[in-house]
Amino acid sequence: MEFIDYVLNNYIKDGIDELDDRKLGTIITNKYESNIDAERELGDLDTIRDVFVKFQKHLYFKKLVRRIKI
């Protein structure tokens, strides 16, 4: 999904603060220019927030699994 790729690239480039839920509005504006454009692409704002949060759970779970295996 293009939105997740965008968030992930920002995370890699700018660090953990990019995953702060309070930045979601800024992320949406930077990527799509408006909430309306984002909703056209991704669904309503609740759906976008859900994707944003679930992606992070998946990301952190993978990190945890890697640490346990080491």
Domain definitions of the chain by residue range: 2-69
Residue 42 has pLDDT above 80, yes or no: yes
Count, in order, helices (H) and strands (E) of the chain. 4, 0
Q: How confident is the model at residue 69 (pLDDT cuts 50, 70, 90)?
A: low
- The pLDDT tens digits for 45-65 are 999 999 999 988 888 766 555
Compare 56 and 28 and report the one with higher pLDDT. Answer: 28
Radius of gyration of the chain (CA): 13
Q: How confident is the model at residue 1 (pLDDT cuts 50, 70, 90)?
A: confident
Q: Provide the token pair at 18.
A: 């990019």
Between the alpha carbon of residue 11 and those of residues 6, 36, 40, 63, the distances in Å are 9, 24, 24, 14
Nearest to 37 by CA among 53, 48, 50: 48
Output the pTM of the full model: 0.77
